[in-house]
Amino acid sequence: MTDRVRQPSPLSRTALTRRRLIAGIGAGVTAFALPRSGLAAAPADVAADGFRVLHARAGNARLRGPQEAPTPIWGYDGLSPGPTLRVKQGEELKVRLVNDLDQATVIHWHGLRIDNAMDGVPHLTQMPVEPGQSFDYRFTPPDAGTFWYHTHFGSSEQLARGLYGVLIVEEREPPQVDRDLMLVVDDWRLMENGEIQPSFGNFHDAMMAGRLGQYITLNSQDTLDLKVKANERLRLRIVNTANARIFGFRIADHVARLMAADGQPCPPEIMRDGVLRLGPGSRADLFLDATLKPGASAPIQVDDLRGGWLDLGRLVYDAGEPMRPQALAEPTALPANPLPKTLDLGKALVLDVPLDGGGMGMMMGGMGGGMGGMGPGRFNGYGIPPQQRIWALAGIAATGHDGPPMFKVDRGRTVVLNFANRTAFPHAMHVHGHHFRQLTPGGGHRPYWLDTVIVDPERSESIAFVADNPGKWTMHCHMIEHMAFGMAAWFEVT
């Protein structure tokens, strides 16, 4: 395949067709900008007992545009992303997963602080849902915000095939925006015939940065024109569903305000240089005022990993009258969620968690054989033998459910985790069932509650959270191949 990197420029459908990025690694975005009715056009399947039924099954998506053959994918109800689920804060959500695939699966509700039994981690919180079987998820989300749901079994394959969707928990009192839209960011590794390249969980990906795709789609198509009116205010919910890629994202010529990170409100903050850095699994809510003149346009872009920007779509301004004479006043912060008021660092359980392994890592040849016996084959996501695990947390290579817990902690106690990245690659460290603060030197913390933090090579990040959600929880790198090959652990809140 020939790579073609485009610099910012006015877009046309022809210019975006068969978009390519860097050979061998690539980058990509699947962007969905949709009305409040959600992603799925088909009517919802609701059982007689009120459960929203989601079928994990094969489907097709025209990732390369309407003139090319569709790509076989896996998705909830055969869609990728699956149907957007919306629920009001404090209302119960009931979802029945029906597995129509030929391998086991589960649903993990990413970023939600819900009952442990509903977290969707196979062998830790539930057994895998075998082909032809079903499982009922039932919980009441305590937090309003942008979340997502995705497979947590055989994730290198199932996630790369498209098995995920968006969950929106709406505020009790909606903020002042004109439209609420979603941009679901992903990269796809496709072959020349448009099918997904089946090298899932291969050793090269696992020991390096993870599975990185080279093909970009917008709204499951090849391009997206998002029509706006001058002085309209948009709420953009951006979700990075990629297996391993960190995205730099921006909408050129506009001021974007970060209003929430990983589903949790934060003080409104103008993006530095207009760029959002978003790791795998992370979300961001941006408020953007359409302040250009009627008839104007502006590209939607991601970084191309070579110092430039790749155009993915456009904001296209209606040529008629503006929505209002001038843009709205600066937004106030979104309503706070019921998170802990304080972090008792003085009585915290403090743990050093070095991140080791991988290509060019400290553990090459170690871990009971290191690379010994490894080959380019596939894995099921939970069957890697110990001698073939090449990543580790605090010297332990696990899958997030096997072996003893990394730690046990009494409910209500603060936990501090000091991540030190001693590898050649970044890691997006994700903690289930809780949100945390990034600590700063001197005992302070950054003004965000997160569930995933990027730890860059040769850097350290310290996080703190109140262990207020009882049960067995996993934490892992959200570069999925790193997780599957050892960079995972679990802890217990008693």
pLDDT tens digits, one per residue of 361-396: 544 433 433 333 333 333 334 455 555 679 999 988
Q: Is the pLDDT of residue 312 over 90?
A: no
414 — phi, psi (to 5°)? -80, 140
Of 132-136, 215-219, 395-399, 470-474, where does mean pLDDT reach its minimum? Answer: 215-219
Q: Is the pLDDT of residue 464 over 70?
A: yes
Q: How far apart are CA 473 and CA 463, in angstroms?
A: 16
Name the pLDDT band for 415 (thresholds 50, 70, 90).
very high
CA distances, 145 to each of 142, 375, 428, 473, 487 (Å): 10, 42, 20, 21, 28
Q: Which pTM value belongs to this model?
A: 0.88
In the chain, CATH 2.60.40.420 sits at 34-173, 345-493
Q: From 225, 328, 204, 306, select the one nearest 11 (Cα to Cα).
A: 225
CA distances, 465 to each of 264, 396, 493 (Å): 14, 22, 12
Q: Is 358 helix (H, G, I), strand (E, B) or coil?
A: coil
Residue type, 425: F
Q: Which residue has the tokens 């009715």?
A: 37
Q: Residue 81, preceding bond cis, omega within 30 degrees?
A: yes
Q: Is the domain 345-493 a CATH 2.60.40.420 member?
A: yes
151 — phi, psi (to 5°)? -60, 150
Q: From 135, 133, 82, 94, select the one nearest 125 (Cα to Cα).
A: 135
Max Cα–Cα distance, the chain, nearest Å:
69
155 — phi, psi (to 5°)? -65, -30
Of 96-110, 156-170, 375-389, 447-461, where does mean pLDDT reach its minimum? Answer: 375-389
Q: Which tens digits make up the pLDDT trace of 30-75? A: 333 333 333 444 568 999 999 999 999 999 998 888 889 999 999 9
Q: Is the domain 34-173 a CATH 2.60.40.420 member?
A: yes
Q: How far apart are CA 295 and CA 96, in angstroms?
A: 45
Work out the mean pLDDT of the chain and round it to a whole number: 86
pLDDT score, position 362: 45
Q: Is the pLDDT of residue 199 over 80?
A: yes
pLDDT score, position 224: 78
Interior CA angle at 47 toward 43 and 48, to 5°? 125
How many C-beta atoms surround the C-beta of residue 478 within 10 A?
Answer: 27
Name the pLDDT band for 401 (thresholds 50, 70, 90).
confident
134 — phi, psi (to 5°)? -140, 165
Answer whether 287's CB lies under 8 Å from 235's CB: yes
